[in-house]
């Protein structure tokens, strides 16, 4: 059941209703933004519940069970509780910086969804610099981490914020280089073009040996670090520095950081699906269902990492990124370039 047709029909209705073109565009864009926001909010709620269930079952316990069937209403209950919490702002914080940090984090997390294809023709705007735009926008979260660390006026928050920023910046580079390998092969930065160049299952970039799997593995590792998840979750390591950059946040501001983390996880999984696993393509089921299945599979992989591995120390983390991942990613890029140029691998 393809829902792109519904949106096309609604747009036709709007265009034919007599308003000027600019008004039609504005209303259409606002409606699209609200819809995407709504879908993402639901996805974030679902992911929080799913993480608790997955972690529970890995640890041989059940997770939430009381609020609704297998605890599906737990996240709703937690959100309501967080809304009611007192918004404590310590007196010594740097006010504008402190207030704007969670907002910037939240906006950066959501703004990336302008060019993520949820299914066939289900994309807000197919920019021809798609993947570049997403990477640039998600980099805004670094600014928000630094702002949170600085604005809290707290030694631990500052240390946590700086470490987090260092980590995200370090792992951004191998991630971009591994994505470049795919872009090189696809020949275009546009997300829709990349998906359509993987029309058959043997054309999926994850299966294009030898550069595909390597690029995929580098991407998965770097994406885990980008979203501050174990084994790279030093900034949030409660056991070491009593919760890094978000110590001083409570109530709704804390909820924004928290939700932004889950939305980020979904973003990197969506990018991974689009670039490596063939996007929305698949037989029988509608395209958006395939997209969700593949993305949630990648999210599940991230969750497995979190609940299995211990965490790395800060210097080991940096060493791993700069001394190992980056050279491998560059070598992979050269390999991809040679493969494309030689023309033998263009099946």
> Site residues (CB under 8 A) for other proteins?
55, 58-61, 155, 230-231, 233-234, 237-242, 307-316
Smallest Cα–Cα separation from 250: which of 98, 43, 44? 98
Task: Work out how close the CB of 327 gets to other proteins at its nearest, in angstroms, rounded to a whole number.
Answer: 18
Task: Work out how close the CB of 299 gets to other proteins at its nearest, in angstroms, rounded to a whole number.
Answer: 18
Nearer to other proteins, 56 or 282 (CB): 56
Task: Work out how close the CB of 44 gets to other proteins at its nearest, in angstroms, rounded to a whole number.
Answer: 22
**CB contact burial 130-148 (16+ within 10 A = b; e otherwise):** bbbbbbebbebbbebbbbb
Nearer to other proteins, 234 or 333 (CB): 234
Nearer to other proteins, 120 or 306 (CB): 306
Distance CA 337, CA 347 (A): 15
Nearer to other proteins, 60 or 91 (CB): 60
Task: Work out how close the CB of 89 gets to other proteins at its nearest, in angstroms, rounded to a whole number.
Answer: 22
Task: Work out how close the CB of 61 gets to other proteins at its nearest, in angstroms, rounded to a whole number.
Answer: 7
Cα dihedral angle (235, 241, 246, 248), rounded to 10 degrees? -170
289: part of which helix (H) or strand (E)? helix 287-308
Task: Work out how close the CB of 306 gets to other proteins at its nearest, in angstroms, rounded to a whole number.
Answer: 8
SS3 content of the chain, % helix, strand, coil (to 5): 70, 0, 30
End-to-end CA distance of the chain: 30
Task: Work out how close the CB of 320 gets to other proteins at its nearest, in angstroms, rounded to a whole number.
Answer: 9
Distance CA 254, CA 103 (A): 11
Half-sphere exposure of 262 (CA within 13 A, CB side): 21
Other beta carbons within 10 angstroms of residue 270's beta carbon come to 25
Distance CA 296, CA 167 (A): 25
Smallest Cα–Cα separation from 217: which of 174, 167, 188? 174
Distance CA 141, CA 268 (A): 13
Nearer to other proteins, 82 or 243 (CB): 243
Tokens at residue 147, please?
A: 């702002």
Other beta carbons within 10 angstroms of residue 33's beta carbon come to 15
Task: Work out how close the CB of 315 gets to other proteins at its nearest, in angstroms, rounded to a whole number.
Answer: 7
């Amino acid at each position: 059941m393809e829902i792109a047709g519904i949106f096309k029909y609604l747009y036709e209705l709007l265009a034919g209703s007599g308003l000027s073109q600019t008004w039609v565009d504005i209303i259409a864009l606002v409606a699209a933004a609200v819809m995407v926001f709504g879908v993402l909010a639901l996805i974030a709620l679902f992911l929080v519940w799913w993480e608790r269930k997955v972690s529970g079952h890995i640890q041989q316990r059940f997770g939430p069970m009381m609020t609704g069937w297998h605890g599906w209403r737990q996240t709703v209950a937690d959100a309501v509780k967080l809304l009611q919490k007192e918004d404590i702002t310590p007196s010594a914080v740097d006010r504008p910086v402190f207030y704007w940090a969670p907002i910037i984090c939240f906006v950066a997390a959501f703004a990336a969804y302008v060019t993520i294809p949820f299914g066939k023709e289900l994309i807000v705007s197919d920019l021809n610099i798609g993947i570049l735009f997403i990477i640039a926008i998600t980099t805004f979260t670094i600014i928000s981490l630094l702002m949170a660390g600085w604005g809290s006026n707290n030694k631990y928050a500052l240390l946590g914020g700086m470490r987090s920023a260092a980590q995200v910046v370090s792992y951004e580079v191998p991630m971009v280089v591994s994505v470049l390998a795919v872009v090189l092969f696809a020949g275009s930065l546009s997300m829709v073009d990349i998906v359509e160049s993987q029309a058959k299952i043997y054309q999926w970039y994850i299966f294009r040996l030898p550069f595909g799997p390597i690029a995929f593995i580098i991407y998965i590792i770097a994406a885990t670090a980008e979203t501050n998840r174990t084994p790279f979750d030093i900034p949030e390591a409660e056991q070491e520095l009593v919760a890094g950059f978000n110590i001083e946040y409570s109530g709704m501001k804390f909820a924004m950081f928290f939700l932004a983390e889950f939305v980020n996880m979904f973003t990197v999984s969506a990018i991974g699906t689009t670039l490596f696993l063939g996007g929305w393509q698949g037989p029988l089921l509608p395209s958006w269902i395939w997209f969700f299945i593949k993305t949630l599979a990648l999210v599940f992989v991230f969750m497995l990492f979190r609940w299995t591995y211990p965490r790395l120390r800060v210097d080991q983390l940096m060493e791993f990124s700069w001394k190992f991942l980056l050279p491998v990613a560059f070598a992979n890029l050269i390999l991809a370039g040679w493969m494309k140029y030689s023309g033998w691998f263009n099946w």
